[in-house]
Structure 1
């Protein structure tokens, strides 16, 4: 039973690390929470001399949790308006209007 818990804990800890690095925002808390719960369960099921690895996995999961929380609170996603692109759109519309006017004049 301990080996199954330990393997599950390792898998969810790796997922927690991946989700923490990727821009998943609060969705990363799902594997982190599962990794923390499994780490605690594995820690409780382990003998005294087998508790080192589950403690390391628990610490990694908590660090991922703090990292995601900090990233969510302190990093703001902002969309910046591209002035050059807006200017090109206006110029393209003006050119299109001129071409249509020239076509209308040619048809008359």
Structure 2
């Protein structure tokens, strides 16, 4: 039972690390929570001299949780307005308007 829990804990810790790195926001908390529960159960099933690996897995899972929460709540995504693009858009619109006026004048001259 302990080995099964340890293997599952290890798998979920690896998933936690992967999900923490990917931009999945709070979805990464799901494998972290499952990993913490499995690690806790493994810790309880282990003897005192077998708990070294579970302590490391606890540390990694907590670091992943702190990283995900920090990334979610401390880093703000801001969209900056591109002034150069806005100016190009205005210039293009004015050029198109001028071309249409020139075409209208040419059509009036042909009639």
Q: Tell me if both proteins adopt one fold, taking TM over 0.5 as the criterion.
A: yes
* Partner of residue 82, structure 1: 82
Where 1:80 maps in the other structure, the secondary structure is: coil
Unaligned residue ranges in structure 2 (runs of 5+)? none
**1:47-91, Cα deviation, whole Å (9 max, x unpaired):** 222211111101110111112222222211111101111111111
CA distance in 2, matches of 1:28, 1:56: 19
- Residue 50 (str. 1) matches residue 30 (str. 2): no
CA deviation map 1:85-107 (0-9, x unaligned): 11111111111111222222222
User: Which structure has the bigger radius of gyration?
Assistant: 2
User: Which segments of 5 or more consecutive residues in structure 1 lack a partner in the other structure?
Assistant: none
Query: Is 1:99 aligned to residue 99 of structure 2?
Result: yes
Runs of 4+ in 1 over 6 A off after TM superposition: none
2-structure distance, mates of 1:87, 1:24: 35
TM-score relative to the length of structure 2:
0.87
Match of 2:66 in 1: 66
